Chains A and B, each alone.
Chain A
Amino acid sequence: MKFFLEVWRQKNAQSQGGLVRYEVVGISPEMSILETLDVLNEQLLEKGEEPIAFDSDCREGICGMCSLVINGYPHGPEKASTSCELRMRHFQDGQTIIIEPFRAKAFPIVRDLVVDRSAFDRVMAAGGFVSVNTGNAPDANCVLVPKDVADKAMDAAACIGCGACVAACPNAAAMLFVAAKISHLALMPQGAPERDARVLNMRAQMDKEGFGHCANEYACEAACPKEIKVSNIARLNREFLRAVVCSDK
């Protein structure tokens, strides 16, 4: 297959970027969009040009490193898939594909398609954890968790922290990410001791990083490769209200 890729090129955080059009040939339908970029990069290297910088690690949809906005969709137009899982058979031969980085003030561009998502790490460090005693594993079932609650926590824990929710949000808000992390821990008994401090501190760090406010448009839910639901955002709002109204903090 043959494609025209319009790719965002930018030397570094300070420089001005722009879309550059490339033609890439010899692509097979089962290749992913990342492999297509690999092929293009080899062609660029042969010509003595700078290859395109982009993030990836596992290339099987579990690490959340890949971060492309493909034809206006974070991770591409397919439902519940990451960029690395997006196969070229979903495009037509000869199609033009626009590839841009995730865009948000809180995710500054490092180079080309690579953005700095350490804002998420700082939000996690502010409270996205539970403190536990190390040592022997506790007895199974000594802490009871109802099945439906465990399922909800598990669904929230599926978040891989890729940042597609921020990229998709018209306001570059990080609410779906923070809501997933808050929900995952707030639903479980193990999360209870740090419950109030967690939501207050993670919220504060989220604001400090410069993410926008949620306007409840749910673009995040549509873009999320792990299908995290916006009902988690409602839970985040409840947790916040609860901490503000009921706790001593």
Chain B
Amino acid sequence: MSFLSRFYSSSLGRKFFVAGAGLSLCGFLVLHLSGNLLIFKGPGVFNHFAKTLDSNPFILPLELVLAGFFLLHIVIGLIVRYHNYQARPIGYAKYSVKGGRTWGSRTMTLTALIVLAFLIIHLKDFRFGDRSQGVYDLVVSCLKNPYYAIFYIIAMISLSLHLSHGFQSAFQTFGLNHPKYTPAVKKLGYLFAAVIGLGFASIPLWIMLGKIK
């Protein structure tokens, strides 16, 4: 344990935790999206899929591991940001440096907080919501509310921005930077962010357009 706590107490170690948990969460997003998209197959397939998941005894331990990754990422990520905020008590009257700064990188804290708010509402309504009528009805009835759907879409844009920087940033944190592959990692990050954002947002969008009833 002293090894882990020593590792955690260093600035570089903390970033390894954020990046490791962050990349693991990226893997989870792929699985989650592939399940969600079944909604386009209709209530039968979607509800059956949800039931199958629920009846799997290994889901609960996996969910606990997932919750652990989320907590690790969120808590350490925000602690890191707090330290960073303290590292410059007085800001510049004028700050112009751009370098590799992108919309994604500039808004990491903001997008993190939006995704966190979304996560809490999302868990309350869907994971712990009333699923007796089937998950399909639950999702459609929530997202029929245009405010809910728009909030959902904004959260997915935020997630996409978060990933557009986060994905490639995690590689650098792990020390993986070389002209051989870094350009490809960056492109893959943007592609991943776009697919995840568009994929998740397509569902509230289709419901708003009345194409899923």
Which residues of A does B touch, CB under 8 Å? Answer: 6, 8, 19, 69, 71-74, 77, 98, 100, 103-106, 168, 170-173, 203-204, 206-207, 210-223, 230-231, 233-238, 240-241, 244
CA distance A203 to B97 in the complex (A): 25
Residue of B nearest to A74 (CB): B97
B87 touches A210 (CB 8 A): yes
Q: Which of B55-63, B100-108, B126-134, B141-149 contacts A (4 or more CB under 8 A)?
A: B100-108
Chain B residues contacting A98 (CB-CB under 8 Å) are 93-94
Q: Which 4 A-B pairs have the closest CB atoms?
A: A218-B100, A72-B96, A222-B99, A238-B175
Contact residues in B for A233 (Cβ distance below 8 Å): 172, 177
Is residue B206 within 8 Å, beta carbon to beta carbon, of the partner chain?
Answer: no
Which B153-171 residues sit within 8 Å CB-CB of chain A?
165, 168-169
Contact residues in A for B100 (Cβ distance below 8 Å): 216-219, 221-222, 230
**B10, CB-defined interface residue at 8 Å:** yes
Write the chain B residue with the least CB distance to A242. B175
Given contacts A103-B92, A105-B88, A213-B84, contact A244 B13 (CB under 8 A): yes
Task: Known contacts A210-B87, A216-B172, A237-B173; decide if A72 and B14 are in contact (CB<8 Å).
Answer: no
Minimum CB–CB distance for A68 against chain B, Å: 12
Question: Whole-angstrom distance between the alpha carbons of A238 and B98 in the complex?
Answer: 26
In the complex, chain B residues 105-130 whose Cβ is within 8 Å of any chain A Cβ: 105-106, 108
Of chain B, the residue at the smallest CB distance from A73 is B96
24 contacts between A and B (CB under 8 A): A71-B96, A72-B94, A72-B95, A72-B96, A100-B93, A103-B92, A104-B87, A105-B86, A105-B88, A171-B87, A203-B10, A210-B87, A212-B86, A213-B14, A213-B15, A213-B83, A213-B84, A215-B84, A217-B101, A217-B106, A220-B99, A234-B175, A240-B13, A241-B175
- Is B91 in the interface zone, CB < 8 Å from A? yes
Among B7, B12, B105, the residue within 8 A (CB) of A217 is: B105
CA distance A141 to B155 in the complex (A): 60
Return chain B residues, CB-CB under 8 Å to A231: 177-179
Nearest A residue to B98, CB-CB: A222
B90 within 8 A of A: yes
Interface residues of B (CB under 8 A from A): 7, 10-16, 80, 83-84, 86-101, 105-106, 108, 165, 168-169, 172-179
Contact present for A237 and B88 (CB under 8 Å): no
Set of chain A residues within 8 Å of B12, measured between Cβ atoms = 203, 236-237, 240
Q: B92's contact among A69, A207, A216, A217, by CB below 8 Å, is which? A: A69
| Chain A residue contacts of B179, Cβ below 8 A | 231
**Are A218 and B96 neighbours in the complex by a CB distance under 8 Å?**
no
Q: Within 8 Å CB of B105, what residues of A?
A: 215-217
**Across the interface, which residues of A come within 8 angstroms of B173, CB to CB?**
214, 216, 237
B95 contacts A207, C-beta separation under 8 Å: no
Most A CB within 10 A of own CB, among B13, B83, B91, B93 = B93
Q: A213-B14, A235-B175 are in contact. Are A172 and B97 (CB under 8 A)?
A: no
Contacts of A173 in B (CB 8 A): 11, 84, 87
The CB with the most chain A CB atoms within 10 A, among B10, B87, B106, B176, is that of B87
How far is the CB of A241 from the nearest CB of chain B, in Å? 6
A168/B93 contact (C-beta < 8 A), A211-B87, A234-B176, A241-B16 known: no
New A-B pairs, 10, CB < 8 Å, besides A103-B90, A211-B87, A220-B99: A72-B97, A105-B87, A211-B11, A214-B15, A215-B105, A216-B172, A217-B101, A217-B106, A219-B97, A219-B101
What distance in Å separates the Cβ of B95 from its nearest Cβ neighbour in chain A?
5
